[in-house]
């Protein structure tokens, strides 16, 4: 066996399905050249000679996946949380994002963001930048140094934003193409994702041009969908040819169906939109904290799971004031209880097992075979020391995991590995 093959020993926890959580006390998970070789109660004979990293009684879980966050909003955490989405964008977000035209500000702010992300439980993320090509490259350079696996998008906007944050349609297309050309061959861990901010800020002409770029470069796509009732009504006015919000993306070829797509929120998706999400294999990034903070509502995640949609979790920094995916999991459970009590009593609340799946394998699927310790999956792992979360009674592994999700933070992470490499 080569030096890139080793085993991690500890209390192994991972998901195979939303309902199946595997818990193995004092088990082993094998890493072979960045890929999981499987989980074992005892090491098989063929692995007896490899290095064993023994973490004792600590928990070993897959790295967590954040399917939706805005890096330039890091400095906005905790601001304007009494506003709804569109007012919050105009009052806080757009003025802050305009600052990234200044290289010095971008380096300082993105440096803070990447340092905190590196220390967090997140190992992979889909990230919005701003319209600024140079600042987006700064962000990608900093993320590359962390060795996290991230998808980053230069944002596209050509309408319904302040003049200082809008590009002309052709300029937005050209700057996106220049950004893609500039980054060719420069990154091992960081990759581009096409990023129309949302339909209200992108004209039909720009969406068509972005669709052409997607087809030429085979890029994944990230955007927002049906987050807020006012936003949905606005899209109906702006795009009368589209029967519903998602169809406006579909008309440009930016809604799954061979174009890997993640849409944040889907709080108020109509039945025909849900059907198209399912048909086209679009991923939903559920962002519970942001949806509470900006009064957007509660996404019907139980319905989405029952209908077989691809669902993961997002922090939506800074609509969500925390980038912790532990917090995203506990929030997802809590808002699902409110949905069950106040909206639909047939929609049972999400379980601990289900939200753990969403934060690992569910969101990880957007990156490929990611988010589990099953053989053949990328070896992304967190080693967690929960000893500082005091308790007077003996606890099982499931109870310890739940307490980490509700009470843990970055200080509990003692080792973080992505594709077998320690971060």
The confidence score (pLDDT) of residue 123 equals: 98
Task: Mark whether 321 and 244 lie in a shared domain.
Answer: yes
CA distance 351 to 397: 16
Q: The domain spanning residue 350 has which CATH number?
A: 3.20.20.140
Task: Mark whether 363 and 377 lie in a shared domain.
Answer: no
Question: Burial level of 185, CB count in 10 A (0-12/13-18/19+)?
Answer: exposed
The confidence score (pLDDT) of residue 3 equals: 62
333, 359 contact by CB (below 8 A): no
Range of the domain at 87: 64-367
Task: Mark whether 11 and 145 lie in a shared domain.
Answer: no
Task: Mark whether 363 and 386 lie in a shared domain.
Answer: no
The confidence score (pLDDT) of residue 65 equals: 98
The confidence score (pLDDT) of residue 4 equals: 83
299, 291 contact by CB (below 8 A): yes
The confidence score (pLDDT) of residue 419 equals: 98
Residue linked to tokens 């960045």: 34
Residue 38 in 3-state DSSP? Answer: strand
Task: Mark whether 157 and 99 lie in a shared domain.
Answer: yes
Rounded to whole angstroms, the maximal C-alpha distance in the chain is 66
Task: Mark whether 385 and 294 lie in a shared domain.
Answer: no
Task: Mark whether 166 and 202 lie in a shared domain.
Answer: yes
pTM surpassing 0.85?
yes
Tokens of 267: 């709080």
Tokens of 369: 């075979």
- Tell me what percent of the residues of the chain surpass a pLDDT of 90: 99
Tokens of 70: 């805005």
Task: Mark whether 9 and 127 lie in a shared domain.
Answer: no
CA distance 175 to 163: 17
Point out the domain boundary residue: 367, 385, 402.
367
For the stretch 29-61, pLDDT in tens is: 999 999 999 999 999 999 999 999 999 999 999
Task: Mark whether 136 and 238 lie in a shared domain.
Answer: yes
Point out the domain boundary residue: 331, 348, 367.
367
How distant, in Å, are the alpha carbons of 24, 75, 86 from that of 95?
49, 12, 13
Q: The domain spanning residue 41 has which CATH number?
A: 2.30.40.10
Point out the domain boundary residue: 348, 367, 386.
367
Task: Mark whether 16 and 117 lie in a shared domain.
Answer: no
The confidence score (pLDDT) of residue 139 equals: 98
Handedness of CA 77, 80, 84, 87 (dihedral sign): negative
How many Cα atoms within 13 Å fall on the side-chain side of residue 243? 7
How distant, in Å, are the alpha carbons of 66, 147, 183 from that of 190?
15, 8, 10
Question: What are the per-10-residue average pLDDT scores of the chain (423 residues)?
Answer: 83 97 98 97 94 98 98 96 93 96 98 98 98 98 98 98 95 97 95 98 98 97 97 96 97 97 98 98 98 97 98 97 97 98 97 98 98 98 97 95 97 97 94
Task: Mark whether 87 and 107 lie in a shared domain.
Answer: yes
Domains in the chain: how many in total?
A: 2
Task: Mark whether 128 and 179 lie in a shared domain.
Answer: yes
């Amino acid at each position: 066996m080569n030096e890139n093959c080793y085993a991690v020993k500890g209390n192994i926890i991972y998901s195979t399905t939303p309902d199946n959580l595997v818990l193995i006390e004092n088990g082993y998970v094998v890493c072979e050249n960045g890929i999981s070789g499987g989980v074992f109660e005892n090491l098989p004979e063929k692995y007896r000679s490899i290095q064993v990293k023994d973490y004792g009684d600590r928990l070993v879980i897959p790295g967590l996946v954040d399917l939706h966050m805005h890096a330039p909003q890091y400095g906005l955490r905790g601001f304007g949380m009494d506003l709804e989405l569109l007012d919050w964008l105009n009052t806080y977000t757009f003025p802050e994002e305009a600052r990234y035209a200044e290289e010095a500000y971008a380096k300082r702010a993105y440096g803070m963001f990447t340092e905190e992300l590196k220390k967090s439980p997140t190992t992979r993320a889909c990230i919005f930048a701003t319209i600024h090509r140079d600042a987006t490259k700064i962000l990608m350079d900093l993320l590359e140094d962390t060795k996290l696996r991230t998808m980053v998008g230069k944002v596209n906007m050509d309408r319904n934003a302040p003049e200082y944050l809008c590009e002309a349609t052709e300029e937005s297309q050209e700057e996106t193409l220049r950004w893609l050309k500039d980054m060719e061959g420069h990154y091992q861990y960081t990759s581009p994702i096409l990023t129309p901010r949302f339909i209200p800020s992108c004209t039909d002409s720009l969406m068509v041009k972005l669709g052409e770029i997607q087809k030429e470069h085979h890029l994944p796509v990230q955007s927002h969908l049906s987050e807020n009732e006012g936003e949905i009504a606005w899209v109906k006015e702006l795009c009368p040819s589209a029967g519903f919000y998602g169809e406006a993306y579909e008309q440009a070829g930016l809604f799954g169906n061979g174009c890997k797509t993640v849409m944040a929120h889907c709080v108020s998706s109509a039945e025909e939109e849900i059907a198209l999400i399912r048909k086209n294999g679009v991923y939903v990034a559920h962002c519970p904290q942001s949806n509470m903070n900006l009064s957007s509502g509660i996404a019907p995640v139980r319905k989405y799971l029952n209908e077989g949609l691809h669902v993961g979790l997002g922090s939506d920094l800074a609509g969500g004031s925390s980038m912790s995916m532990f917090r995203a999991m506990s929030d997802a459970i809590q808002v699902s209880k409110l949905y069950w009590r106040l909206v639909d009593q047939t929609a049972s609340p999400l379980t601990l097992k289900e939200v753990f799946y969403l934060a690992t394998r569910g969101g990880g699927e957007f990156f490929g075979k990611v988010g589990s310790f099953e053989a053949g999956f990328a070896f992304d792992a967190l080693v967690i020391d929960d000893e500082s979360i005091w308790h007077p009674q003996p606890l099982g592994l499931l109870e310890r995991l739940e307490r980490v999700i509700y009470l843990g933070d970055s200080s509990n992470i003692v080792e973080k590995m992505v594709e077998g490499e320690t971060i």
